[in-house]
Amino acid sequence: MASESPDREHAVAFTLNGEAVRARVPARMHLGDLLRGTFGLTGVHLGCEHGVCGACTILVDGRAVRACLMLGVQADGATVETVEGLTESGRIGDLQDAFHARNALQCGYCTPGMLVTAAELLADETAAASREEIRAVISGNYCRCTGYHAIVDAIATTAEARRNRRETAE
């Protein structure tokens, strides 16, 4: 098979933060660069571009993925949500409030990825969300500023508040 130029562009269409979008994407461009460069979603932060730090974490079809480990062309047909979309929808408002109240961020660079990872955990109503489990779930999101302690507190507080709301509703 003839090798393809890494610059060859492909047409993609997907749902981004609730809106139908399309773009022409060079084959080698990762989804993080596509979201930041083409769509201006600068809340997707690039920390390492080899899938370790977690700063670029987004939701693709409801699952947390690394935007730097997925090619832009792979988004074709998918539903993609970034911190901007999650904020606008109000779905993580309680989590963001808890992070704010607890100062569970300092420089804020890891924060979007950390919130998205926590959002996935909290969306699972069966998750226990103990401190230990929270620490395990966010262990792919690197934070250099906080001692993680406040982040664990904020996620645990949110998990408990949501649990209480569910129980009250029942």
The residues binding another protein (CB under 8 A) are 7, 26, 28-29, 36, 41-53, 55, 82-84, 87, 96, 99-112, 115, 131, 134-136, 138-152
- With the C-alpha atoms ordered 40, 46, 50, 54, is the resulting torsion angle positive or negative? negative
Nearest-approach distance from CB 153 to another protein, in angstroms: 9
> What three-state secondary structure class fits 88?
helix
Q: What is the Cα–Cα distance from 17 to 52, expressed in whole angstroms?
A: 24
Nearest-approach distance from CB 58 to another protein, in angstroms: 10
Nearest-approach distance from CB 144 to another protein, in angstroms: 5
Q: What is the Cα–Cα distance from 16 to 89, expressed in whole angstroms?
A: 12
Nearer to another protein, 77 or 139 (CB): 139
CA distances (Å), origin 114, targets 14, 57, 141: 24, 8, 6
Nearest-approach distance from CB 70 to another protein, in angstroms: 17
- Tell me 55's DSSP state: T
Nearer to another protein, 146 or 157 (CB): 146
Q: What is the Cα–Cα distance from 57 to 152, expressed in whole angstroms?
A: 18
Nearer to another protein, 75 or 115 (CB): 115
Nearer to another protein, 6 or 167 (CB): 6
